[in-house]
């Protein structure tokens, strides 16, 4: 099935917001109407699905709120928030690994503002969209997503990029190098995407870390973080680095890494 266009994704989001239906229901009605939005909305309401959908949504939200509150510490956690201890207890209960990419997968799904904090709004919205109101369904959903991260580059990209948002200190605009290295180690291993060449199996993550250890003392900003993944995908597919040239749009640190690696391997550093 071809991926949804941005217009189709927007139509689904608007349908859900207006009707309270699930994304799956919204997608079905919109597909049946060839994404004619007003027609899909009309069919939804005249079919009686709206009443059933509202009742189901109310039950689902009640279940989600009850689950959220069962983990919230009234004395320690801020209003409508799971603090660090409560959030970790909840994530552990649904099978999240705190030392692998499934942690960032859950954090992105719930749009957690930080690794140690989950808001009620993020919790409800994330599980509404996933159609998982109970803990066992949430565990199963995360397990399915985790198993596909190493193959689904779009999913992994979404998780990887959100790791920067949730992983940095709230008042900071960049990650410390120490934290970035920790997160790269966490993300670039199973169940995440391994940064290893497809042919010779060169471990690019080890090379990247060695380069940074020798030459880099600054923090890691969003552009460097995001472009590191794009470079990773390119280097997985092309271990010769022939895709790189000095006139490309890579950040300077990527250019420096390529020059460092080619010099180390005795390769010609060409334009």
30-61 residues labelled b (16+ CB within 10 A) or e (exposed): beebebebeebbeebeeeebeeebeebbeebe
Residue 140: predicted pLDDT: 94
**Which of 160, 166, 167, 158 is closest to 195 using CA atoms?**
160
Residue with tokens 């060169």: 202
Residue 75: predicted pLDDT: 95
Residue 269: predicted pLDDT: 56
Q: Give per-10-residue mean pLDDT for the chain (271 aa).
A: 81 79 85 87 71 62 94 96 97 96 97 95 91 90 94 96 94 94 97 95 97 96 97 96 89 96 78 45
Backbone angles phi, psi at 21, to 5 degrees: -75, 165
5 contact partners, CB below 8 Å, separation of at least 6: none
The whole model's pTM is what? 0.79
3 state SS of 118: strand
Task: Please state at what angle helix 23-32 crosses helix 37-46, rounded to 10 degrees.
Answer: 110
Beta bridge partners of 248: none
Q: What is the CA radius of gyration of the chain?
A: 22
Residue 102: predicted pLDDT: 97
Residue 271: predicted pLDDT: 45
Token couple for 169: 């200190």
Residue 55: predicted pLDDT: 52
Q: What are the strands, taking DSSP E only, across 43-156?
A: 81-82, 118-119
């Amino acid at each position: 099935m071809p991926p949804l266009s941005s217009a189709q994704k927007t139509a689904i989001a608007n349908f859900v917001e207006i009707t309270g239906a699930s994304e799956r229901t919204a997608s079905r009605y919109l597909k049946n109407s060839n994404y004619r939005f007003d027609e899909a909305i009309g069919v939804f309401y005249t079919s009686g699905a709206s009443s059933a959908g509202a009742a189901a949504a109310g039950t689902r939200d009640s279940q989600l709120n009850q689950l959220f509150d069962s983990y919230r510490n009234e004395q320690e956690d801020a209003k409508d928030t799971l603090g660090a201890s409560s959030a970790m207890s909840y994530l552990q209960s649904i099978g999240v690994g705190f030392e692998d990419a499934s942690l960032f997968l859950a954090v992105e799904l719930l749009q957690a503002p930080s690794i140690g904090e989950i808001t009620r709004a993020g919790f409800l919205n994330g599980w509404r969209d996933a159609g998982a109101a109970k803990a066992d369904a949430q565990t199963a959903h995360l397990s399915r997503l985790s198993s596909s991260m190493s193959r689904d580059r779009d999913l992994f990209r979404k998780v990887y990029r959100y790791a920067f948002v949730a992983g940095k200190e709230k008042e900071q605009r960049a990650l410390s190098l120490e934290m970035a290295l920790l997160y790269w180690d966490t993300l670039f291993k199973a169940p995440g995407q391994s940064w290893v060449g497809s042919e010779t199996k060169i471990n690019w993550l080890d090379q990247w870390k060695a380069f940074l250890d020798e030459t880099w003392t600054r923090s890691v900003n969003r552009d460097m973080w995001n472009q590191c993944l794009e470079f990773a995908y390119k280097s997985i597919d092309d271990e010769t680095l022939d895709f790189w040239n000095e006139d490309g749009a890579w950040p300077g640190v990527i250019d420096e890494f390529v020059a460092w690696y080619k010099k180390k391997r005795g390769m010609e550093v060409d334009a």
